[in-house]
Chain A
Amino acid sequence: MLHIIGKCMILMGATVLGLQHAAGLRHRVSCLKEFLTALERLERELAFALLPVDVLLCQMQAGTRGAAHRFFSSCEERFCKRGEERLEEIWSEEMQKIPLPLCEEDRTLLQEIGSILGRYDGDSQQLAFQRIHSRLEESIQKAKEESERMGKVYCVLGITVGMFCVILV
């Protein structure tokens, strides 16, 4: 009896691992979409009213959920303290500190937003953000495809490895 329970647990464990990897890919897609939503809001507000950075961060925070929301919330809190740090430094540190389900390439792309925001005139910022917007959309598309393709692979792999372990034991 215990033998059977053990084998079931091994199978479940391997399956869950596979599902977790697949979920990680989906979370990456949804996180990137949240950042895209925030970027679109940023572009609109810059074009419409040239709002200062603290207000923009507040709005980006309000329009996002999950890890992205925590990221903007943290940036806004630190930025509004008016310490010796610039937004670029705060943004970079928070990008590493907050557990975002993103790969290094995603972080590098999003880091560009932090290094541009508030540093140039409105038109130059809008132009730069439009380029980042296009690249972010491409990243989301690739991430979606990867999630669909590899998600199934990880699930099946998880079950297969689990069954293999069960047979071996």
Chain B
Amino acid sequence: MEASICFIEIEEKAKLLPSSLRPLVIELGRDRCRTMEELRLREGQALSYVVAGRECTPSEWRDHIVTPRDISWVLEAAGHGSIHAVLEQFKHGFLSVEGGHRIGICGSVAMKQGEMINFRSISSLSIRFCHEVLGIAEPIFPELIEKGRLQNTLIFSPPGGGKTTLLRDLIRCVSDGVGLEPLRVGVADERGELCGMYQGRAQRNVGKCTDIIDGCPKAQALLMLLRGMNPQVLAADEITAPEDLRAAEEIAGCGVTILATAHGAEPEDVHLRPIYRELLRREIFRRFIWIRIEKGIRKYQILQKEEMGGLCYIS
């Protein structure tokens, strides 16, 4: 199956903005809007958007300055006017919205006893759109199977490299049984980016045998899934904390396959960070997928625990 990008339509992007800025996105046109990766709102500056990693402001947008009321509206709408329901995400500097999109928040922070409790004022927002690429994992999926069994796999790349997009499609492949019989997958979707849960339903295609816990710390969610849902595979995005490592160890010890992602520009970065060094030392993962972007082309290199794997080019 050739990878097919599911474009987010113009209306879905525009509705995240207040009525004063919505027409700007709509007037941009469908083609330009489809490739838009992010929208950036900075107080006192014109609205801008990001395409292929580059930020730009069309000339017709330059007179439309983002106001504090615009920023306030975006957050009110994203949080359904319910700060109590989204406070934990807010404290971590982001909000997840319907469709699996994420709003990053910047501003002056209120601290209490060394811990951030809220934002005093908000100066900028980054609305990052979640793009689904169905089929992107299928060419590399067979490389992750050994003796008919899916191997524990770690995907790594720099931020924005496409780890989450790849993991999402891997989950779909496993859950729907692409090249393998369908397996029960449990997903710890702490930030709601993998599956885009909204009102109890996944907004992204993650397969028909997938169970999701969202909004819960990864380590806790993984153990809940392990104990309660009888999974055959568990997946989590961005293993970063020591408790995530402990959860991964427990999962591996139970014979459940684990799929995860980590930040790292190169394999050497994985060795440098203590938590990943520990993961390697304990030989929890047997396959590594290294994503890098060269001349605008995303490349996926499979690294086995013992040897280097083949190169696979996907544009």
Contacts and interface: CB of A to CB of B under 8 A. Distances in A.
Given A84-B18, A84-B19, A84-B73, A120 B84 contact: yes
Interface in B77-110: 77, 79-85, 87
Contact of A46 (B76, B80, B84): B84
Given A84-B18, A84-B19, A121 B84 contact: yes
B84 A79 contact: no
A78 to B, nearest CB: 12
A25 to B, nearest CB: 35
B82 A52 contact: yes
A50 B18 contact: no
A87 interface: yes
Nearest to B85: A52
Contacts, number: 40
Nearest to B84: A122
B136 to A, nearest CB: 33
Interface residues of B, number: 13
A125 interface: yes
Contact of B85 (A50, A79, A86): A50
Nearest to B19: A84
28 contacts: A46-B84, A50-B84, A50-B85, A51-B82, A51-B85, A52-B79, A52-B80, A52-B81, A52-B85, A53-B80, A53-B82, A53-B85, A54-B81, A54-B82, A82-B77, A84-B18, A84-B19, A86-B76, A86-B81, A87-B81, A118-B82, A118-B84, A119-B83, A120-B83, A121-B83, A121-B84, A122-B84, A125-B84
